[in-house]
Amino acid sequence: MSVDAVIVLAAGAGTRMKSDTPKVLHQVLGTSLVGHVLAAATELAPKQTVVVVGHGREQVVEHLTAIHPSANTVVQEQQNGTGHAVRLAMAAIDAATATSVLVLAGDTPLLTAATLNALVSVHVSAHAAVTVLTAVLPDPSGYGRVVRDTHGHVTGIVEQKDADAAILEIAEINSGVYVFDIAALTQHLAGLSTDNAQGEEYLTDVIGAAVAAGQTVVASVAQDHREILGVNDRRQLAQAAAVMRDRINADHMAAGVTMLDPATTWIAPSVTLAADVVIEPGCQLFGATSIAGGAVIGPHTTLTDTEVGAGAHVRRTEATLAIIGPRADVGPFTYLRAGTVLGANSKAGAYVEIKAADIGDGSKVPHLSYVGDATIGRDTNIGAATVFVNYDGVSKSRTVVGDSVRIGSDTMLVAPVVVGDGAYTAAGSVIYEDVPPGAMGVARARQRNVLDWVLRRRSGTSSAAAAQRAQELSGTQDSTQDSTKEQE
């Protein structure tokens, strides 16, 4: 079901958030509150979308430009109520090409397209002037109540501050989501007043005006009352996130994903998971992350905009804008930065950081290494504590390591440098010149032992005592072998 136009109300200050960030920009699972609302509305294919901004409008407009550039914005300089905000928005809508308008609050991230579709369907079927989305809450405190006549027809909405004791007993509440016939909305917006407890123009007064004019007003009751919950403070933000987490996780598990602890698994709506993926406890998956079948993620792994191939295992890892190939083995305590590409059957092991690097099929960076701005061929092994020295303080250069290379532990590869296919580097080397294919690169000083140094320079220490005992036991106390003893 489509709708002609959408208005999103996002001008409020959100003072209870106690934040410098505008309320609608606070995030749930990696997406702003207003971003979730727009995503649901977009599925109705509106021809026009208008967002009313006010508090922190520069930040909000910048954000909207990034996530929904087709949306128009109008500014509500003074927050004089929802009716006032909609009246401003209507000036930006081309009424000649629209007969209906959907009005949404920008702080209701749990709304689904399915519920909005049902709302619009009810509106169209009833030929209504106004259709309001309602819900029955266990505790309706704080919400406007939906008043019906004895036949169940909607006769009005009374805000909490204006309600008497009888109305406060009503459990059906107004969600703040409506579909209006544009002609009826325009007619009744003109008659709004501020004669109420808050001194504001209530959009809800349009309901009473439409009823008084003999126009049809109907309600669509949300199947899950949690969908309409707004976010006004940090507690409600956390509650909304938990509801969304549980909803998303349930959908993935129904589709064949195993989650060992859904309560500690946080997955953004934009993430795609194939059947037979296993998610272990403590994982967070955001952005355009996609995970192929048979992969095991976690425990305690965060992936953002990362692609994981079939059968890969990624544990205790943070990865952003990375590609992890089929059957790759990653972690624990691994950091994959933007531009990392791990080939099939590759390994990035414990305490490894990789950035802007292609790691070939079957190659391994097992532990304690940094690989930046590099290309590594197939079946190569990078020894422990290797550093790809890619930055000279001004610019970054690239290192190329060929196929079947063995990089010795504690090697420094000073870019730009090429290590040819089948080559080796000796442990502890600083490689700053190309190593030809099949060669051994050695770049280190020859070791010398300064004998008896501890006995002479650290006399009286436990080290000196241990050395003295060892020499006495072996009968090898002799300093004549040290030709450089006095040059130390």
Residues annotated as catalytic are 367
Q: At residue 218, what is the residue type?
A: V
How far is residue 109 from each of residues 37, 238, 262, 397, measured CA to CA in Å? 6, 12, 20, 45
Query: What is the residue whose two structure tokens read 């959100």?
Result: 14
Classify the phi-psi angles of 91: left when phi > 0, otherwise alpha if psi is within -120 to 50, otherwise beta.
alpha
HSE-CB for 287 with a 13 A CA cutoff: 12
Written as six digits, the tokens of 234 are 């940090």
Q: Is 443 helix (H, G, I), strand (E, B) or coil?
A: coil
Query: What is the residue whose two structure tokens read 């899950």?
Result: 224
Query: What is the residue whose two structure tokens read 């940094």?
Result: 370
Give the list of residues 6+ apart from residue 488 with CB closer than 8 angstroms, or none: 450, 453
Q: Closest by alpha carbon to 159, among 170, 17, 149?
A: 170
DSSP 101: E
Cα 448 from Cα 425, distance rounded (Å): 21
DSSP 43: T
Q: Closest by alpha carbon to 248, among 230, 267, 229?
A: 267
Cα 278 from Cα 308, distance rounded (Å): 12
End-to-end CA distance of the chain: 86
> Which DSSP string corresponds to 338-398?
TT-EE-TT-EEEET-EEEEEEE-TT-EEEES-EEEEEEE-TT-EE-TT-EEE-B-SS-B--
> Which DSSP string corresponds to 139-176?
S-TTSPEEEE-TTS-EEEEE-GGG--HHHHT--EEEEE
Give the list of residues 6+ apart from residue 313 with CB closer than 8 angstroms, or none: 295, 296, 328, 329, 330, 331
Q: How many CB atoms lie within 10 A of CB 183?
A: 13
